[in-house]
């Protein structure tokens, strides 16, 4: 559906050239929800605006639904943009127009008759849960309702692609959750391809199928959300994931932890469980097989797209060779195993 090849964007200012995007290549499939995450200034807003050529790339190719957007004339581009809807962080509603009139505005610009506009808009208001607000003005709406109007307006021209530029950043957590659920519902009902940019990993986790991580105008990691979330390859992805997964070590443990082996000491390991592995009695099996004790320090279970995902922080004590055998056993299992460090025996273990 969307193909980006060698995308580059350079801005020229008084202080010289600034490269906002450098050699970006992506393939976004028909009907998927694709997330692009990055910190402020990473280039993600520039990237999403290059898809509909609100920003014209300095170099590279943008293909949407089989059309090379960079090769179109201005008149051809205006037509092509009708198949690409866009919603923004700050709603951009017309204060002097009702909800119905705001949603119908793109159709009015396109010359669609008043009766036909209303015929198309009313089902959209039903879809976004605002059928009873059609005659209300934006000032009378909550932030979440305003964004629903923005979504309905973006759908008025029956696009095949919906671009979301930080669509939930101005909303509270509960409202964000409802808007994300709405986007997921729209994706399912209409078969829309959705490209969503954000600086919040929980947004990616909630609805995206795949994700691209951008830093300094470059892609540092791409993949399925589950894979990136459970086995991040880049420092940037790991930093984002830390914001929603509490992997912080207890202060009492961190105070006595050593990166190097401690003579006669214990090993601290973080285990990550995915899917069916969350139901396996790994710790019980470990204790049965090896002459080690396992002290569970902390643990949690979450879900990623209905797939269970758990983490467990444990301390292994015993003879060095038994601890090593136990570690080898864990590393051979279908789970993530990360050696956190070492502690002197009895320095932290409580069992």
d(CA 314, CA 316): 7
Selection from 95, 84, 90, 80 nearest residue 139 by Cα: 95
What are the start and end residues of each CATH 3.30.70.260 domain in the chain? Answer: 255-343
- Looking at residue 349, what is its pLDDT? 57
Q: For residue 95, what pLDDT band results from cuts at 50, 70 and 90? A: very high
Strand boundaries in 76-192, DSSP class E: 84-87, 161-165
- Looking at residue 275, what is its pLDDT? 67
What's the whole-number mean pLDDT along residues 141-149?
A: 94
Average model confidence (pLDDT) across the chain: 89
Strand boundaries in the chain, DSSP class E: 2-13, 16-28, 33-37, 59-64, 67-68, 84-87, 161-165, 193-198, 210-215, 218-224, 266-274, 292-304, 307-318, 336-343
pLDDT for residue 276 is more than 70: no
- Looking at residue 246, what is its pLDDT? 66
Selection from 187, 113, 198 nearest residue 155 by Cα: 187
For residue 346 the two structure tokens come to: 């009895």
Strand, helix or coil for residue 283: helix
The pTM is what?
A: 0.83
d(CA 315, CA 271): 11
d(CA 244, CA 173): 13
- Looking at residue 212, what is its pLDDT? 97
Q: Contact, 213 vs 234, CB < 8 A?
A: yes
Q: Which residue has the tokens 């671009």?
A: 163
> Candidates 3.40.50.300, 3.90.1300.10, 3.40.50.1220, 1.10.486.10; correct CATH number of 2-242?
3.40.50.300
Q: For residue 100, what pLDDT band results from cuts at 50, 70 and 90? A: very high
Choose between 310 and 53: higher pLDDT. 53
67-68 vs 336-343, strand pairing mode: unpaired
* CATH superfamily entry for domain 255-343: ACT domain (3.30.70.260)
Q: For residue 346, what pLDDT band results from cuts at 50, 70 and 90? A: low
Cα distance from N-terminal residue to C-terminal residue, the chain? 56
pLDDT for residue 248 is more than 70: yes
Q: Please classify residue 292 by burial: count the beta carbons closer than 10 Å to its beta carbon, then call 0-12 exposed, 13-18 middle and 19+ buried.
A: buried
For the chain, give the percent of residues with pLDDT over 70.
97
pLDDT for residue 145 is more than 80: yes
Q: For residue 160, what pLDDT band results from cuts at 50, 70 and 90? A: very high
Q: For residue 177, what pLDDT band results from cuts at 50, 70 and 90? A: very high
What's the whole-number mean pLDDT along residues 92-107?
A: 94
Q: Which residue has the tokens 């919906």?
A: 162
Strand boundaries in 70-155, DSSP class E: 84-87
Q: Please classify residue 29 by burial: count the beta carbons closer than 10 Å to its beta carbon, then call 0-12 exposed, 13-18 middle and 19+ buried.
A: exposed
Q: For residue 258, what pLDDT band results from cuts at 50, 70 and 90? A: confident
What are the start and end residues of each CATH 3.40.50.300 domain in the chain? Answer: 2-242
């Amino acid at each position: 559906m969307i193909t980006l090849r060698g995308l580059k964007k350079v801005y020229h200012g008084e202080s010289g050239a600034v490269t906002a995007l450098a050699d970006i290549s992506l393939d976004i499939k028909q009907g998927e929800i694709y997330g692009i995450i990055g910190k402020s200034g990473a280039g993600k807003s520039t990237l999403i605006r290059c898809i509909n050529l609100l920003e014209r790339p300095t170099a590279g190719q943008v293909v949407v639904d089989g059309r090379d957007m960079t090769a179109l004339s201005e008149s051809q581009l205006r037509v092509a943009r009708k198949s690409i809807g866009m919603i923004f962080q700050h709603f951009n509603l017309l204060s002097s127009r009702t909800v119905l009139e705001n949603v119908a505005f793109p159709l009015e610009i396109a010359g669609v008759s008043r009766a036909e506009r209303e015929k198309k808009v009313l089902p959209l208001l039903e879809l976004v849960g605002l059928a009873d607000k059609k005659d209300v003005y934006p000032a009378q709406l909550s932030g979440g309702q305003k964004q629903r109007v923005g979504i309905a307006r973006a759908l008025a021209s029956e696009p095949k692609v919906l671009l979301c530029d930080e669509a939930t950043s101005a909303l509270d957590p509960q409202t964000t959750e409802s808007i994300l659920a709405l986007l997921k519902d729209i994706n399912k009902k209409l078969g829309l391809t959705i490209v969503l940019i954000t600086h919040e990993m929980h947004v990616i986790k909630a609805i995206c199928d795949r994700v691209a991580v951008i830093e300094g105008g470059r892609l540092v990691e791409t993949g399925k959300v589950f894979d990136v979330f459970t086995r991040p390859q880049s420092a940037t992805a790991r930093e984002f994931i830390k914001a929603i997964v509490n992997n912080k070590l207890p202060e009492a443990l961190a105070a006595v932890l050593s990166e190097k082996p401690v003579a006669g000491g214990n090993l601290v390991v973080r285990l990550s469980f995915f899917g069916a592995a969350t139901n396996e009695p790994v710790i019980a099996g470990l204790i049965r097989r090896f002459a080690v004790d396992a002290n569970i320090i902390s643990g949690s279970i979450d879900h990623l797209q209905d797939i269970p995902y758990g983490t467990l922080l444990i301390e292994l004590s015993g003879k060095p060779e038994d601890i090593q055998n136990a570690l080898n056993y864990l590393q051979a299992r279908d789970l993530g195993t990360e050696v956190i460090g070492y502690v002197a025996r009895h320095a932290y273990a409580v069992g």
